[in-house]
Amino acid sequence: MLLTFPHSVLGVDRSDSLPEEAQPVQSAVQQAVETAMKRLGRFSFRRIDVVEANGVVTLKGEVRSWFQKQLAQHTAMQTSGVRRVLNELRVDPRGGTPGF
């Protein structure tokens, strides 16, 4: 069965473009974790995504060493409002975040 719809409906404007997707709103905890990582200075955690929900922070992305992976986790855990950290960072010595 083929359904057909009228080309216009009274009172409804036709728009060929959909509204842009809304950017996800960062929580205060997520912002605090990202700021804490930026303060480390020696490392550039550009390849780390921080996602937070109800005090649970998930770290995703790549780093160059196990040390960086643990440093990111420790930094997140020490941030006010964080109850738990899920560390899903991958270690790739050839890529990831520069550092030692």
pLDDT of residue 20: 53
pLDDT, tens digit (0-9, with 9 covering 90-100), for 35-56: 998 888 766 677 789 999 999 9
The arithmetic mean of pLDDT across residues 76-89, rounded, is 96
In this structure, the strands spanning 48-53 and 84-91 are unpaired
Q: What percent of the chain has pLDDT over 70?
A: 65
**Positive/negative CA dihedral, 70, 34, 85, 94:** negative
- Structural domains of the chain, with CATH: 28-91 (3.30.1340.30)
Q: How does residue 21 score in pLDDT terms, banded at 50, 70 and 90?
A: low
* Contact between residue 68 and residue 44 where contact means Cβ atoms under 8 Å apart: no
Q: Is the pLDDT reported for residue 90 higher than 70?
A: yes
